Amino acid sequence: MKCPICQSATKVTNSRASERERIIKRRRICARCQRRFTTYERIELLGLTVAKRNGGKEPYYRHKIELGLRKALEKRPFMEQQFQRLVSSVENEIFNLEKELVSSDQIGKFVLVHLKSFDKVAYIRFASVYRNFRSPQAFEREIHRLEQPGDRQQEKGSFPAQ
């Protein structure tokens, strides 16, 4: 790998697996300018397709989950490392299905399950778009369900229609 500063060759000084062996973190040093930096290698599933609600299909892209989560978490306190763990947790759920075709609906359910314990405000924001809330009462019902302890129905991913 080339140095991002001077474009010279770099040397790996340390490697370690993280996040359930799905990411390899490498510390590198530039042979010329002696700058140190970190790179991350992530497993990417090729051939995974997402079935959209409108009947269309498209390749799976991690960045789409990241974009949706960043919108839901906008102006909320979180660290980038926590965010990346959240995205990886959702992605692990998708990978664990061991399917070549996954519905966007299923991905949305995984996001909601993980957001529920990560940030409740972001959960409500994401749920409002995912379930297409059309009234303040829909928000009220969701907040009421969120405040109920031990709601097993939502944690399993079977959500009532709004």
Sequential pLDDT tens for the chain (162 residues) = 888 888 889 999 988 877 656 678 889 999 899 999 988 887 666 678 898 989 899 988 889 999 999 999 988 888 888 888 899 888 888 888 888 889 988 999 999 999 988 888 898 888 888 877 788 888 888 888 877 765 444 443 433 333
Q: Which of 150, 52, 44 is nearest to 108 (CA)?
A: 52
Closest C-alpha among 54, 15, 6 to residue 34: 6
Which tokens hold the place of 112? 């909601």
Taking the complete model, does pTM exceed 0.75, yes or no?
A: no
Pairing assessment for the beta strands 49-51 and 36-42 based on DSSP bridges: unpaired
Spell out the domain ranges in the chain: 1-43, 44-155
- Tokens, residue 80: 């980038």
